[in-house]
Amino acid sequence: MAAAQVIRSEWTKIRSVASTVWTLSLAVVVTLALGMLISALSKNEFDKMSARDRTDFDPTFISFAGMSLGQLAMIVFGVLVVSNEYSTGMIRSSLAAVPQRGTFLFSKIAVATGLALVVGMATSFAAFFLGQAMLGEHRAHISDTGVLRAVLGGGLYMTLIAMFSMGVAVMLRSPMLSLGILMPFFFLISNILGNVDATKKIGQFLPDQAGSKIMQVVTPVDDDTPYGPWGGLGIMALWVLVVIAGGYALLKKRDA
């Protein structure tokens, strides 16, 4: 089967599964709602902040506060896109129709990544403008230095989260096992490693912590991170390449 036909087939699969559509919708809603809430609270608290906190105040990054929950929905989307076929047994039919496993896998990832990128970018821009509206006189403008980079980076960050989850799901095949590893990894282990002094230097090289650097415009005074915004996104992209390469290697090696 030609690559173009495989891509069309994968697009049809994604559209026909209601859970993936709802998951992406949830990513948008929770990211915008939480971002607006945190931005509004930050505006009200600004006058009570210490001089140090005002120096570190990053209105752009605050508007992305909802990304923490938005990435949860992106993780679920990435896992479901891949593992739905395993859980239903459709993977055997899919591989019989497309015996070239590389074509099958990369067509699936390409379609899902394209969809995640569109949703991620739309969400990031909406989160920024809505968040700044909540911040009032403390707002940043899209034309300010570093702001457009941060907003574009927010969309790329959400896309890479989905891609990372796809790679893990290809390796593990089980949706429950994939989510059972990814959820604690991003929402517990990463936070612990990143906030404990003894492990902070390790934590800052994890995909979510490195990637989120792209969304910062104001660098905190005590930030000693050894890379910049694009360097952090590059580290996250390397993680994504590693897990997708691992998934491809296992897909080629084992039976469906």
Distance CA(170)–CA(191), nearest Å, equals: 25
At residue 235, the pLDDT reads: 97
Q: Which residues contact 244 (CB under 8 A, 6 or more apart)?
A: 109, 163, 166, 167, 170
Distance CA(157)–CA(33), nearest Å, equals: 18
> What Cα–Cα distance (Å) separates residue 58 from each residue in 6, 33, 47, 147?
44, 19, 15, 10
At residue 167, the pLDDT reads: 95
Q: What is the pLDDT along the chain (256 residues), one digit of tens a residue?
A: 566 787 887 777 787 777 778 888 889 999 999 999 999 999 998 888 888 888 889 999 999 999 988 999 999 999 998 887 777 667 777 776 776 887 888 888 999 999 999 999 999 999 999 999 999 999 999 999 999 999 999 999 999 999 999 999 999 988 899 999 999 999 888 988 888 888 888 999 999 999 999 999 998 888 889 999 999 999 999 999 999 999 999 988 876 5
* Predicted model pTM: 0.91
36 close to 136: Cβ distance less than 8 angstroms: no
At residue 89, the pLDDT reads: 66
Q: Which residues contact 196 (CB under 8 A, 6 or more apart)?
A: 203
